[in-house]
Chain A
Amino acid sequence: MAEKLCAYCKINPATNRYAKQTQEGTVTEYYCLACYRKVRDLAEKTVEIPEEIEIEHLSKCPNCGCTIEQFKKTILVGCEHCYKALSWAIEPVIERMQGSSKPHCGKEQILTDKERLTRRGNAISVILAKKTDRQEAEIYEEELLRIQMLLSNDEEEV
């Protein structure tokens, strides 16, 4: 599923819809939480205050299905993607638990797409070696083949 990026920063996933009336009609933009707040603040300072039609927060992670209710109950997220998809609910918790909103400044793991693909290929090989069921093995063999083709073509798609 293609991720819609914030129209303002173009980095974070968009989780908030902001609609305003213009001469051309209603214009809808999608922003991440931080930029949504900035845009709103900016709009309130202009003469023309845009009309907000609907605020849309994701209530469930599109990847693992973890819901806001589940997160609030356990304070555990379901997968790595929850941190972006449900950032509007999770960020305040991070700030409270960590005592600040400072970014990570410790050990890093920054990999190229090729490195990630190679490692994934190695992982599939390990898993495949343990598979005795032919049908199951075929699924992994297909994925391995796809990865090998991507690597040999030197493509960037992950």
Chain B
Amino acid sequence: MSSYNKQTRESFPQELEYVISSTRIRLARNLDSYPFPAFLNERQTSEILTLLEHELMEINPAFKKYSLKNMSSEDASVLKEKHLISPALVKNGAKAAVFISPDEKFSVMVNEEDHLREQYISKDFEVFDAYEKISTIDECLSDALNFAYDKRLGYLTACPSNLGTGMRASLMMFLPALAKKNTLKSSFDVYRNQGLIIRGTFGEGSPSEGYTYQVSNERTLGVSEESILEQVYEAGLTLMSAELTAREELLKKDGLRLRDDCLRAYGTLTNCVLLSQEEMTELLTKIRMGIAFGFFRTMSIEAFDNFILEMQPKSFKKNNSPNSEEDGLRIRARLVANELEKNVIRLD
């Protein structure tokens, strides 16, 4: 019998961070008396940007505004890699802007698919707290502005899939054992029937990378915010429990091969001279898996995850400015080797 029966969050203090990478709460809102972003003219766009900048700066003067009009595609890609903006915001170009808090936990997109996409991201499993935090911004905006709202349909959004609460609560989860067991697909179907969706790393419709999946609510209308949060929270606990059980089983059945696979990855990454993005992604996933299975130790999994984020293509290019393709391969190999030697310790 597994030692990981579904329990409360407090029952998983150590294992939590090796399964749940982050929590995100997103609220979609529109101002009344204006068409939605796709139908805005220049004057209306200017009014909305002016209004929302004023209100958001009143709420938090430390917010930094990024106008997509003036932003390079490289900078936009960096923000996309950090999940602070979406591809849809970049597509809206001159109409769009984003306001980001200094700690990069709050981001408010203006004129994405809707006038407002308020978002809070936490590196912790804190569904309810994250909602409280984004609600403080939402309440302030709600007190100052007229949102498009209908008694029956709730908050009115450009896409009917966001009506009602306008809320998407999601967890990013690292599920290598469940993925290796090939049971994840059937779990996806079970959760779908319960109104939850499980997708690859970058949200809607993209392939999974590095065994990381996004779990979020599908329904937003006819359900309350509290019930959505409960549902996502419970799904997080259930999947975490299943993943930890699957890891135990995998270790018992194939522990030696698993360890060999992870340590080979470590060997390659600490010794290679040239390293491509694809190879790095594949091997760092094995390192992360090795940390989760107890073959390695790291001071902070959050710091390790942040390192992986900084090594994403656009962020890497911006931070290191490689002179050539070979220079990039060389720099990447060096950075990864340094990081692993410093922060990832092999446990024998």
Contacts and interface: CB of A to CB of B under 8 A. Distances in A.
Nearest to A119: B146
A66 B146 CA distance: 22
B222 A120 contact: no
Contacts of A83: 150, 153, 156
A145 B161 CA distance: 39
A116 B32 CA distance: 10
B144 A130 contact: no
Nearest to A66: B39
A98 B220 contact: yes
Contact of B224 (A98, A99, A105, A109): A105
A30 B119 CA distance: 43
Interface stretch (A20-28, A43-51, A89-97, A148-156): A89-97
A74 B38 CA distance: 11
A77 B158 contact: yes
Interface string A94-121: 1001111111111111110000100110
Interface in A16-56: none
B164 A78 contact: no
B84 to A, nearest CB: 23
B51 to A, nearest CB: 5
Given A119-B145, A120-B146, A123-B51, A94 B163 contact: yes
B342 interface: no
Given A75-B160, A98-B161, A104 B152 contact: yes
A83 B35 CA distance: 12
A62 interface: no
A97 B160 contact: yes
A65 B160 CA distance: 18
B132 interface: no
Contacts of B34: 79
Contacts of B316: none
A142 interface: no
A108 B221 contact: no
B149 interface: yes
B50 interface: yes
B322 interface: no
A15 to B, nearest CB: 16
Contact of A98 (B51, B148, B151, B221): B221
Interface residues of B, number: 44
B63 to A, nearest CB: 16
A75 B36 CA distance: 13
A98 B30 contact: no
Contacts, number: 118
Interface in B108-147: 113, 142, 144-147
B92 to A, nearest CB: 12
Given A80-B30, A90-B160, A126-B50, A102 B38 contact: no
B160 A93 contact: yes
Interface string B211-225: 000000011111111
A79 B151 CA distance: 16
Interface in B215-250: 218-225
A120 B32 CA distance: 10
Given A80-B150, A127-B51, A98 B160 contact: yes
Contacts of A110: 149, 151
A64 interface: yes
Contacts of A59: none
Contacts of B149: 108-110
Interface string B10-49: 0000000000000000000010111110110000000100
Given A123-B145, A126-B50, A79 B39 contact: yes
Contact of B47 (A76, A107, A127): A127
A102 B153 CA distance: 9
Contacts of A63: 35
Interface of A: 63-66, 74-80, 83, 90, 93-94, 97-111, 116, 119-120, 122-123, 126-127, 130
30 contacts: A76-B113, A78-B39, A79-B34, A79-B35, A79-B39, A80-B32, A90-B160, A94-B221, A98-B161, A98-B222, A102-B222, A102-B223, A104-B150, A104-B153, A104-B155, A104-B163, A105-B222, A105-B223, A106-B154, A106-B223, A106-B224, A108-B149, A108-B151, A109-B147, A110-B149, A119-B145, A120-B146, A122-B144, A123-B145, A127-B50
Given A94-B160, A102-B221, 19 more contacts: A64-B35, A64-B36, A64-B39, A76-B36, A77-B159, A79-B36, A97-B160, A97-B161, A99-B218, A101-B222, A105-B223, A107-B154, A108-B149, A109-B155, A119-B146, A123-B51, A123-B145, A127-B47, A127-B51
